[in-house]
Structure 1
Amino acid sequence: MRFATYTANDETFYGAATDAGMIALSPQFPDWPTLREVIAADGLHQLAVAAKGQEVTHPNGGFTYQIPVPNPQRILCVGVNFPDRNAEYKDGSNQPKHMSLFPRFPSSFTGAETPLIRPPENHTLDYEGEVAVVIGKGGRRIKAEDAYDHIAALSLCNEGTIRDWVRHAKFNVTQGKNWDNSGSIGPWLVPFTHAAQLDSARIITRVNGETRQDDTLNRMMFPIREEIAYISTFTTLEPGDIIITGTPTGAGARFDPPKYLVPGDIVEIEVEGIGTLRNTVEDEA
């Protein structure tokens, strides 16, 4: 079962995603106004039960995807988390002792099937295909061996980046990572039920049908269990928080010459068992 947040006729719903469209479920659960409250109440199973046998309420073409979890309290991204990605920096470094982290704001993400926006100030908009982990059970100082017990669901992320702006300062990339609508999350949440969903996952990024990134999560320098353990050491994770887990080699900036995104491009992030996150690219109006 897949669950998404979407808008139709200027009203926001959450519901079950089918091949034919959406089954609105939020009207049946007034105590859970968004998927964030559903996750906090461990209610995804109840949504699945409620969706059985129901007809599509919003057919394909009649709604717009939003970020699955609206306004998460934390979106934390893990940088340079694949060995080939580390080698791209050509600084002779081996695997670092600690993972690189940076925050993203909810406004920097849009939903699936909507445009990524290239700003007029800079045209180095780049893609990064990643798996997004949504925390279900909060906690502090979570042990790595217990980390999967704290995951509610999985989604996909295009962690779009304005490359020139990550170089504006010596020790941070925040400004290059937070342009409005430069990235996307979605199209939906898939409940996390077993370790193989992550341990055996293969992530592929395509631009206009050309494969640019292709790797497996078991090659991460800092596996997702360790990410949750490390992050929860310094901050209390809460239901609905999102961890963007890292991108493989093959981003546009690493080609010679670079292959940055331009208006009209179609970017697809695919992971079997989760789905495909698809976005176009437009210039800011």
Structure 2
Amino acid sequence: MTTPRLATYSVNGAMRYGAATDTGIVDLSARFAKDYPSLREAVAAGALMKLADAAAGRSPDHALDAVALQPPIPSPEKTICIGVNYPDRNAEYKDGSDAPKYPSMFLRVPRSFVGHNAPLVRPRASPQLDYEGELVLVIGKAGRHIPESTALDHIAAVSLCNEGTIRDWVRHAKFNVTQGKNFDSTGSLGPWIVPYTTEAQIADIRLTTRVNGETRQDDRTSRLIFGFRYLINYISTFTTLVPGDIIVTGTPTGAGARFDPPRYLKPGDVIEVEAEGVGVLRNGVVDEAN
């Protein structure tokens, strides 16, 4: 059985959504736009499998190279990113600290992300653009004070993120990393969302990041310090999770800043974030225009 893959894309100046196949995109917007203007409304309605079933057996309406894939969920209310969530990542800081008691987290704005195959932009303000491959949870059902026992019922889909970071700017202040995490077009989301079905689908996913074909990050979601159930429970304690919210769940060891000397991204580099059962999120790098 082919894994359903639902994507947001632009073609001829219009924003649309559909099902991605190996050769193209089956347009679902025309059929479902009245009920679901975007994938965010489809997520809220619990309709992702309905969309996938509607696309089954249909020939693509657009070739993949004829569309521009966008971040799959347009205008999410919030994108919550988790820091230091793999054991080796904590050790990477070399500060002798125990595993954290609570997760580190921060918010990112939509403008800081591009879609699959769009270039990440190295800003004029700093050459220290770095990569962080991560698995993404898309929330499908609203909730506050969600128990761990039912937390996974609130997941609609999974996706991928390259949570690009400007390293020197995350150290500009004592208590936050917001600046270095929110430069325009420094991260990416996609290439699509895969509907969530069972816990086994996400319990032990291999997550890798490659730069110019060289594997830099390689770990499994079964090793997370703070698992998916805990994250949903913890986050929903202080904020109401709503459909379309995105949780970026943490990156393995091996980011460019941790090499000696650091190996930051430069124009012409190609970064690929891959997860079993999800796909490959690919982006190049360009310099910000003067």
Distance 2:150 2:193 in 1: 21
Q: Could you tell me how far 1:198 is from its partner in structure 2?
A: 1.3
CA distance in 1, matches of 2:263, 2:38: 37
2:30 is matched with 27
Q: Which of 245, 248, 266 is the equivalent residue of 1:244?
A: 248
Kindly state the Cα deviation for residue 60 of structure 1 after the two structures are TM-superposed: 1.9
Q: Secondary structure at the match of 2:94?
A: coil
The letter for the 2-side match of 1:79 is G
Separation in structure 2 between the aligned mates of residue 165 and residue 223 of structure 1, nearest angstrom: 28
Equivalent-residue separation in structure 2 for 1:218 and 1:55 (angstroms): 37
| Equivalent residue letter for 1:220 | L
Distance 1:260 1:144 in 2: 38
**Secondary structure of 1:65 counterpart:** strand
Greater shift in the superposed pair: 48-57 or 207-216 = 48-57
State the TM-score, normalizing by the size of structure 1.
0.99
- Counterparts of 1:61 and 1:122, CA distance in 2: 32
Worse-superposed segment, 47-56 or 132-141? 47-56
**Is 2:236 the partner of 1:232?**
yes
Instruction: For 1:116-127, list aligned pairs within 5 A.
Output: 116-127=120-131
How far residue 53 of structure 1 moved from its aligned partner, in angstroms, is: 2.5
Compute the displacement of 1:9 (Å).
Answer: 0.5
| 2:23 is the counterpart of 1:2 | no
Q: Determine the C-alpha separation between the residues in 2 that align with 1:81 and 1:52.
A: 37
Q: Is the partner of 1:172 in helix, strand or coil?
A: coil
| Seq. identity, % | 61
1:31-82 CA distance string (max 9 Å, x none): 2111000000111121012112322111121000000000100100000111
2:17 is equivalent to residue 17 of structure 1: no
User: What letter corresponds to residue 250 of structure 2 in structure 1?
Assistant: G
Structure 1 stretches of 5 or more lacking a match? Answer: none
3-state DSSP of counterpart to 1:61: helix
Whole-angstrom distance in 2 between the partners of 1:217 and 1:45 = 24
C-alpha separation in 2, matches of 1:236 and 1:107 = 22
Aligned residues: 285
- The yes-or-no answer on 1:259 pairing with 2:259 is no
Partner residue in 1 for 2:202: 198
Cross-structure match for 1:160? 164
Query: Residue 186 of structure 1 aligns with which residue?
Result: 190
- Displacement of 1:138: 1.0
Secondary structure of residue in 2 paired with 1:155: strand
Question: Aligned runs of 1:133-144 on 2, under 5 Å?
Answer: 133-144=137-148
CA deviation after TM superposition for structure 1 residue 97, in Å: 1.1
Match for 1:161: what amino acid? T
2:39 counterpart of 1:74: no
Q: Secondary structure at the residue paired with 1:188? A: strand
Q: Which structure 2 residue ranges, 5 or more long, are not aligned? A: none
Report deviation, 1:149. Answer: 0.6
Q: CA deviation at 1:156?
A: 0.3
In the alignment, the residues of structure 2 paired with residue 178 and residue 240 of structure 1 have an alpha-carbon distance, to the nearest angstrom, of 19
